[in-house]
Amino acid sequence: MSVAEPPGRSDPSGRGSAFSGATGGSGLTIVEPLIFDASRRERRAVRFPKPSEAARAAAAGQPELPASARRRGAPRLPEVSELEMLRHFNRLAHLNHAIDIGFYPLGSCTMKYNPKVNEWAARLPGLAESHPLDPAQLSQGSLELMWLLAELLKDISGFDAVSLQPAAGAHGELTGMLMTRAYHRDRGEGEQRTKVLVPDSAHGTNPATATMVGYETVTIRSNERGGIDLGALRGALGPDVAALMITNPSTLGIFEDQIDQVVAAVQEAGAIAYMDGANLNAILGRFRPGEAGFDVMHFNLHKTFSTPHGGGGPGAGPIGVSARLEPYLPAPMPVLAEGDPAEVLANAWALRSTPGARFELDDDRPKSIGKVRSCYGNFGMFVRAYTYIRSNGSQGLRTISEDAVLAANYLRVRLHDAYDLPYDRLSKHEVVFSGRRQKREHGVTTLDIAKAILDHGIHPPTIYFPLIVEEALMVEPTETESLETLDRFVDVMHGIAEQAKTDPDAIRRAPTTTPVGRLDEAAAARRPDLRHTFRDETEASMA
Amino acid sequence: MSYSPHTEADRARMLEAIGISSVEDLFADVPAAVRASDWQVPPPLTEQEARAELARLAGRNRIPEITFLGAGVYRHLVPAVVGEIIGRPEFATAYTPYQPEVSQGTLQSIYEFQSLICELTGMEVATASHYDGATATAEAALMACRLTRRGRVAVSAGVNPDYRRVLETYCSGPGIEVVTVPVGLAEGGNGTTDPGSIANLGDDLACVVAAQPNFYGQLEPMAELADAAHRIGAQLVAVVEPISLALLEPPGAYGADLVAAEGQPLGIPPSFGGPYVGLMAARMGSVRQMPGRLVGATRDAEGRKGYVLTLQAREQHIRREKAASNICTNQALMALAATVYLAAVGPEGLREVAELSVAQTRHLAAALEDAGLAERRFGGSYFAEVTMRVPDAARRHAALAEQGIVAGYLPEQREPELRDTLLLAATELTTDDEIARLVQALGESR
Amino acid sequence: MAYPDDLRYSKEHEWVRVEDDDTATIGITSFAADELGDIVFIELPEVGSTLSQFGTFGVVESVKAVSDLYAPISGEVLEVNEALRDTPELLNSDAFAEGWIAKVRLSDAAEMDALMDADAYAAETA
């Protein structure tokens, strides 16, 4: 098997820029200066009206801004024409890989297609222009949407209540652990329960969250099959344990096949069972954590429910909880104040409003941990996720997980000859390979392999995570990639494994077709350059 | 509506390759005792049905014809180019820029964002952004605790009540005490924080959190608050409104150690509360205690300039339980909106927006006073939002809402002392006619 | 891998060089620096602070890792290597000389017995 050589990088001297006007001759290869470099005095894009004479006259008796509070000198924002700035950002866009451009099998991130009808919905003026503090009678649509989404998430997860407020997965974790502590305190066990158990395969956010809530993290090792070691878990559980935080399916892409025993052991010890729901995409319709006895879980709407990742956010991290944690949920909560819930749901499923139904925000929650974010959460993400869940419907959600798991297992069997597979078991949403063979035999590291993948127009898998897998390559294909795309990825990965044997230096030089080559991250961290330096600052520092 | 690309033949081929006969076998590892029971999720919708449902919900909202509501979320012009750029799939459907060679668009835009926030605030370093202004404020206070190795935080009652609630929730985690510094809300008060009250807060105080302008629109004596905080070894966390920084002294100039802000006014629609973008800025000497992502400039082997996520050893994915924060994501797409907005308006445009917002707020206050309908509750100066004394405010606020006019925010919802007041905001979008109609409607509601 | 004979080593990969009766220099080993990769930052102890043997006294960061520093011996910090603040890469390039971390007034010379010699450390890291 061989893979076509990627084209070489074109002559750097021929590159154009949005500002030089010299785009001809360099094709679409772009080096884009900072927007500040295009700034010219008096250039303008958007203009605004001047205050009217009437306004000036009427305001004459009002207090002036005191001189002491006034800024001296305008901020040096760029002064550019609208076309120049538009080109600048459009050209920057060209420097990104994205799901809408190509395959993005980044493990643990669920880079699936983000349907465009969701974007259409989020931009509806009736939703986008809705002010969070408008009187409730003006916001019935927003409140109903939040209430409906929470009802759907409850049903999907088997939990008794859902708060949409957390803005991201890690934020959901923080919320859930603050609630865990409030629960134990309420029972008089707040002082005694000081530890949170976290498997060694967990995301870094789990232990970091435990610390933010004042808990001590105890790491539980994985067994030789990649699951949590039940003996080690039972040994660690006790009256001093507040919670277990467990990711299921795990970061190894493995379903904890003793999960019923894990939950039972945690409950028996009087601790809270927290499920990190990052990998829910694999188990829709197959496993409902609330039903299985978990007390709390965060959803990642930007993973399972397809809201776009936006280059690192915004996301949304609602949490579902069991009845015993419900009193501690963040306030306020959208509630149906008047109307029959079953009727409202039935009507909504039939695309109808319910006459007389009234929604409001319930802020009277005396045991609540408080607010974790201003307003009610990332509402725009709720619109997208609601649209997505309704579009897919019951059968569609089940198909999502079936196809996601099918694709991950397909890649597992197609690639395990070329790459080591430390845990060769049924996969769920993702499969974790190891590049240790390539490193040991050919001196090609997993980082090198990832960079070589870039030259094929594919985003590499997550690398060096989970920490318990040496030279880890974590591949999550998702359900929206065609078999042709999966097969091409298999060919690329085989080709790279072959090239590691025949021409390892070429892999160590990769990537060669990207706008920049490997960047010096050590230099970036040793002497941080975190903002633009204006020319007069440079002159001042030299003077 | 399904987004699956697979034909039945594709699925059969994959099952065969795996060596199983049915997709059911893919879930054999879920213990029988905990397999999901049935759910009540409704059947799928076609695109036109999904649109009808979302249009139904959007239609159930009533976007007010006229509004003077701000209270932390402001209605400004969002230039068309902002939506155009953040709608681009290369920005919207990319992940966190972990592979910098194919993420230079996101990375460079964040570097520009950090540069712009530093320039607006007069600070030396800004993060790649936080969830919102409230969480940025809370994280800044926790950062001040780490920097000073102290465990108490003072927050001015002039800080947005939502932010104060979030701050208290965050501080409850590590057991940090939050004390509230009162503002003069009483009749005849100036509606600001008294710098003289800081000295008595004790020598174990990590920071004073104060807002400029404050929640009630009043201009705070920030330089005096900074001095008072510094005299007891505490830091000043300045919570600011970014558009105001076109006219107001930047926090870096009055001695703020940390700055937090809600970036929503910079090109982001209200969207019922989010997504927004939290801004955080600090002095360079504090950078290693900053929470959240940072982008830095560097070069590749051929000497070409490029951008990377940097100083990552602060963050949870490396430091785990010892991390400065559990924060993982930033709000990259919303930070991009703010970046595009600031480039689109430029220094002149930002000044125009700020000046017009201030002018229309003054116009509004004067018009209400001239009509004998309201008086300013506080002395001193206000910025683009003003607290007005209005008899029977709650009833009249509700009556106007029925007519599609939102007469600002009712402070008494959170602050009983401010009974019968309205907090009114105007922006560059507020017209003279809208002010006239508010005056008329409020007059008729007597 | 051979290590300098005149040093003593801890299991946590720090080294000690006794300079005279009561002062010593400490640092991290080249093995530790290689394991960490490109070191980008070191949090140095404060002059005048007191170290206790095997207790933490600072942090060292590389691009993708972070590690606590453990004092190989007890004593008062007399001087720190200021050059590391701007050029932490000295820890990678010259761990046993230019990359020294601190000079310490020894409080208990007998603690040296708890450390390894070069051969033992080489065996430990093999």
Q: How do residues A415-455 score in pLDDT, each as one tens digit?
A: 999 999 999 999 999 999 999 999 999 999 999 999 999 99
- Closest to A491 in 3D by CA, of A106, A101, A3: A3
Contacts of C61 in chain B (CB under 8 A): 313
Which residue reads 């008494």 in tokens? B412
Q: Residue A525 and residue C64: Cβ atoms within 8 Å?
A: no
Mean pLDDT on A260-273: 97
Pick A528's closest partner by Cβ from B105, B126, B311.
B311
Q: What is the nearest CA distance from A464 to chain C, expressed in angstroms?
A: 10
Mean pLDDT of chain C: 92
Q: Residue C63 and residue A464: Cβ atoms within 8 Å?
A: no
Q: What is the homologous superfamily of the domain A399-526 according to CATH?
A: Aspartate Aminotransferase, domain 1 (3.90.1150.10)
The domain B66-77+346-444 having CATH identifier 1.10.10.10: the answer here is no
Q: Residue C40 and residue A464: Cβ atoms within 8 Å?
A: no
Return the pLDDT at C106: 92
Most A CBs within 10 Å, among C34, C35, C38, C92, to test the A interface = C38
Q: What is the nearest CA distance from C41 to chain A, expressed in angstroms?
A: 6
Residue C92 one-letter amino acid: N
Return the pLDDT at A14: 37
Per-residue pLDDT tens digits of chain B, which is 446 residues long: 689 999 999 999 999 999 999 999 999 999 999 999 999 999 999 999 999 999 999 999 999 999 999 999 999 999 999 999 999 999 999 999 999 999 999 999 999 999 999 999 999 999 999 999 999 999 999 999 999 999 999 999 999 999 999 999 999 988 999 999 999 998 888 999 999 999 999 889 999 999 999 999 999 999 999 999 999 999 999 999 999 999 999 999 999 999 999 999 999 999 999 999 999 999 999 999 999 999 999 999 999 999 999 998 888 887 777 777 888 888 999 999 999 999 999 999 999 999 999 999 999 999 999 999 999 999 999 999 999 999 999 999 999 999 999 999 999 999 999 999 999 999 999 999 999 999 999 999 98
Compare all CA atoms of chain A with the CA of B305 and give the residue at the minimum distance.
A516
Q: Residue B320 and residue A130: Cβ atoms within 8 Å?
A: no
CA distance A237 to A217: 12
B352-410 pLDDT tens trace? 999 999 999 999 999 999 999 999 999 999 999 999 999 999 999 999 999 999 999 99
Which residue reads 């010219």 in tokens? A40
Return the pLDDT at A221: 93
Return the pLDDT at A128: 97
Mean pLDDT of chain A: 93
User: Max Cα separation, chain C?
Assistant: 39
Contacts of C40 in chain B (CB under 8 A): 313
CA distance C104 to C48: 9
The CA–CA distances, whole Å, from A127 to A275, A536, C62, C63 equal 32, 45, 46, 43
Residues ≥6 apart with Cβ < 8 Å to A145: A127, A382, A383, A386, B57
A108-134 pLDDT tens trace? 999 999 999 999 999 999 999 999 999
Contacts of A527 in chain C (CB under 8 A): 86
Return the pLDDT at C66: 87
Contacts of C39 in chain A (CB under 8 A): 522
Pick A139's closest partner by Cβ from B56, B272, B362.
B272
Round the CA-based radius of gyration of chain A to a whole number and report it: 27
Return the pLDDT at A26: 52
ipTM reported for the complex surpasses 0.90: yes
Contacts of B317 in chain A (CB under 8 A): 203-205, 465
User: Max Cα separation, chain A?
Assistant: 83
Return the pLDDT at B319: 78
Domain C8-108, CATH class in plain words: mainly beta
Contacts of B318 in chain C (CB under 8 A): 64-66
Residue B166 one-letter amino acid: V
Adjacent-strand bridge partners of A475:
A106, A431
- Does residue B319 sit at the C interface (CB-CB below 8 Å)? yes
Contacts of A60 in chain B (CB under 8 A): 366
Adjacent-strand bridge partners of B237:
B209, B258
Mean pLDDT on C27-34: 94
Q: Residue A155 and residue B40: Cβ atoms within 8 Å?
A: yes
Q: Residue B319 and residue C40: Cβ atoms within 8 Å?
A: no
Q: Residue A353 and residue B60: Cβ atoms within 8 Å?
A: yes
Q: What is the nearest CA distance from A525 to chain B, expressed in angstroms?
A: 5
Let me know: does A422 contact B27? Beta carbons within 8 Å. Answer: no
Residues ≥6 apart with Cβ < 8 Å to A21: none
Contacts of C41 in chain B (CB under 8 A): 288, 313
**Structure tokens of B381?**
């100066």
What is the DSSP secondary-structure string of B17-80?
A: HHT-S-GGGGGTTS-GGG------PPPP--HHHHHHHHHHHHHHB---SEE---TT-------H
Beta-strand (E) ranges in A122-194?
161-163
Q: What is the nearest CA distance from B329 to chain C, expressed in angstroms?
A: 18
Give the whole-number percent of chain A exceeding pLDDT 90. Answer: 90
Return the pLDDT at A11: 37
Contacts of A464 in chain C (CB under 8 A): 64
- Does residue C89 sit at the A interface (CB-CB below 8 Å)? yes
Label the pairing between strands C75-80 and C102-106: antiparallel
Residues ≥6 apart with Cβ < 8 Å to A117: A387, A391, B1, B47, B50, B51
Residue C40 one-letter amino acid: V
Return the pLDDT at A27: 54
CA distance B422 to B136: 27
Pick A78's closest partner by Cβ from B60, B294, B343.
B343
Q: Which CATH entry fits the domain spanning B80-340: 3.40.640.10, 3.40.50.300, 3.40.50.800, 3.30.43.10?
A: 3.40.640.10
Contacts of C63 in chain B (CB under 8 A): 312-313
- Closest to A142 in 3D by CA, of A376, A389, A313: A376
Which residue reads 């076509």 in tokens? A4
Would you tell me which residues 503-522 of chain A have a C-beta closer than 8 angstroms to some C-beta of chain C?
521-522
Most A CBs within 10 Å, among C64, C85, C91, to test the A interface = C64
Of A387-396, A486-495, A501-510, C105-114, the poorest mean pLDDT is in C105-114
Compare all CA atoms of chain B with the CA of C39 and give the residue at the minimum distance.
B313
Domain with CATH 3.40.640.10 in chain B: 80-340
Q: What is the nearest CA distance from B156 to chain A, expressed in angstroms?
A: 17
The CA–CA distances, whole Å, from A25 to A13, A15, A22, B161, C7 equal 10, 8, 8, 57, 61
**Structure tokens of B45?**
């919708």
Return the pLDDT at A2: 37
Residues ≥6 apart with Cβ < 8 Å to A355: none
Residues ≥6 apart with Cβ < 8 Å to C113: none
- Does residue A525 sit at the C interface (CB-CB below 8 Å)? yes
Return the pLDDT at C101: 96
